[in-house]
Structure 1
Amino acid sequence: MTAEGHDPADEGVRLQKVLANAGVASRRVSEQLIVEGRVRVNGEVVTELGSRIHPETDLVDVDGTAIQLDQSKRYVMLNKPTGVVSSMSDDRGRTDLRRFTADYPERLFNVGRLDAETSGLLVLTNDGELAHVLAHPSFGVTKVYIAKVEGRVTPQTIAKLTKGIELDDGPISADKARLLDASAGTSLVELTLHSGRNRIVRRMMAAVGHPVVELVRRQFGPLHLGTLPAGRSRELTKVEQGALLTLARRDPGDQETE
């Protein structure tokens, strides 16, 4: 405290120091970003080098990409194998996600779910706010699936998937659908959709006469599974982390342009 009883900490931390601490760039380059008008605090462009912010409460983005100022937050991509349920414990004794989080000191949990028999991209984090927002059905995160299905899928069936079909719980349409391959009694179909409804891909493909044999989620919002092997995990890069945070901070009414 100063003689006047004023705590300097109340004034916050210099913005360029915050950016450097968050790993955005060096202090000097961070100052340059600020002067060039590329940094926003709570949606407002800040160009004053002496500006101070409160990292615990203020939202910062650089060139439109959100920055995580809380270094205790961890974001992990898992390629969930089949046979694993999307929970941290299972009262029926099935294999759960704990084996994939045991090596991380933080208590991680999953963002949304994948069916036990579906493999692919699942995000694990200790950022409860982000997990809640992105998993909420109304938020409509875009997901891309590759489905191996029974039978030979025709262009007419692909068109039907994007035009819309009627299920027990209402109509549904894929944002995009394309046939990747058709051979020996099976077809590979890529489906892009933002619905959070339960087992939606399996139900859609069954409804058009092509039950799913295998299903993998390749993308979740801005994240791509890439070459990550099944059963392996890795931390998100700074770029991926920024893209995920930017997505989580957008207005749910906005449509993704993935």
Structure 2
Amino acid sequence: MRSSGSSGSNGNRNSNRGAGSSRDKKQQSSSGRPRPEERRYTSDGNRGAAKGGPRKRSTPARPRELDAQIEERNRARYDTPRPKTPKTFGEQEGERLQKVLARAGMGSRRACEELIERARVEVNGQVVVEQGMRVDPEKDEIKVDGLTVATQAHLFFALNKPAGVVASMEDPEGRQCLGDYVNNRETRLFHVGRLDTETEGIILLTNHGELAHRLTHPRYGVRKTYLAAIQGPIPRDLGKRLKDGIKLEDGYARADHFKVVENTGKNYLVEVSLHEGRKHIVRRMLAEAGFPVDKLVRTRFGPIPLGDQKSGWLRRMTNTEVGMLMKEVGL
């Protein structure tokens, strides 16, 4: 029993001794490599062993051309534009209602929002009371106070131009011009024909280029009607002379229609219609005939009358009026 006990204890000591020797061998074998926390960077930037440990062989520096190629490749990878997602996954269809109303000349966006808040706007027969509704201007029927708003890309306005206003959308000299009467700045409008600065009356504004061209071209013969204040007495054949043609410095000019509207003593109010559009044409014709014009008002442009529209007021033309203009010039 003792011998077996002693042999067992001796075996344990031998096994412990063997385990200790194996640990010593591992420590000796790993003594040449520093532990991670003992690693250091040398002054030349190479990572090496701790002080006293073996140094690693330094690797050659990477060429600058290769670095530039890698940088360019990374930029190309991250600067690639994102693919556009379909509208069904992001952007909503249509335009905001107040934006469409503003573009149609109903006022500023804030004013159009107030129209919506007051329940004065309908879309497809339904009154709109909430902001942010999106519509399709080409398909949806939009009304304000029961009147249809022509929200398509083409806009049509009639302005009663006061005397002294320059017949252009902008004036480099800073004088009052047609653009001062237009609230809609999102769509570029232009005037149809011209109207003398001192002449009052109706002038059309639109962004429909073909219609504007035809309305002012002599080929289509669109008639313009004026009321002129002159001093008499006037001869009975004045109308015939104007219709036969008055010779001007740039050729003959003929009136399509002439009549006396009112006569008070020597003051005459006459109506002249013609399809010409030369500068100061009515004033020049009457002055050449011996009757200078004191005041001139254009009361009709084609089928569109001035009516009782106040001086300086801009109004949106109705769909019926636009249709009449289109028919006048074959559009």
**Interval of TM-score (by shorter of Structure 1 and Structure 2):** 0.5 to 0.7
Question: 2:283 corresponds to which residue?
Answer: 202
Q: Could you say which structure has the greater relative contact order, defined with CA pairs below 8 angstroms and 6 or more residues apart?
A: 1
Aligned to 1:175: 256
Q: Which residue of structure 1 lines up, in the alignment, with residue 266 of structure 2?
A: 185
Residue 174 (structure 2) pairs with residue 93 (structure 1)? yes
Pairs aligned (count): 184
Alignment-derived partner of residue 240 in structure 1: 321
Stretches of structure 2 lacking an aligned partner (at least 5 in a row): 1-123, 125-137, 139-149
Give the conservation status (yes or no) of the 8 Å contact 2:182–2:314.
Answer: no
Contact 1:79 1:120 in 2 (8 A): yes
How far off its partner does 1:178 sit? 0.4
C-alpha distance in structure 2 between counterparts of 1:108 and 1:181, whole Å: 37
> Partner of 1:146: helix, strand, or coil?
strand
CA distance, structure 1, for counterparts of residue 164 and residue 223 of structure 2: 24
Give CA-to-partner distance per residue, 1:169-223, whole Å, 9 cap, x none: 1122211100112224321110010011111100010011110000011111111
Partner-residue secondary structure (3-state), 1:218: strand
Q: Quote the offset at 1:112 in angstroms.
A: 0.7
Task: Give the AA of the match of 2:318.
Answer: T
Aligned to 1:37: none
For 2:322 and 2:306, how far apart are their aligned partners in 1?
Answer: 14
**Equivalent residue runs for 1:208-247 within 5 Å:** 208-247=289-328
> Does 2:230 align with 1:155?
no
User: For residue 198 of structure 2, what is the aligned residue in structure 1?
Assistant: 117
In structure 2, distance between residues paired with 1:194 and 1:234 = 24
> What is the distance in 1 between the residues matched to 2:307 and 2:276?
22
Structure with bigger gyration radius? 2
| Counterpart Cα distance in 2 of 1:100 and 1:78 | 8
Give unmatched runs, 5+ long, in structure 1.
1-25, 27-54, 56-68, 251-258
2:187 maps to which of 106, 131, 134: 106
SS of aligned partner of 2:263: strand
Contact 1:145 1:217 (8 Å CA) reproduced: yes
TM-score (norm 2): 0.52
Q: Over residues 111-130 of structure 1, what are the superposed CA-to-partner deviations in whole Å (9 max), with x where a residue is unaligned?
A: 11100000101001121221
Higher normalized helix content (fraction of residues):
2
Q: CA RMSD in A?
A: 2.0
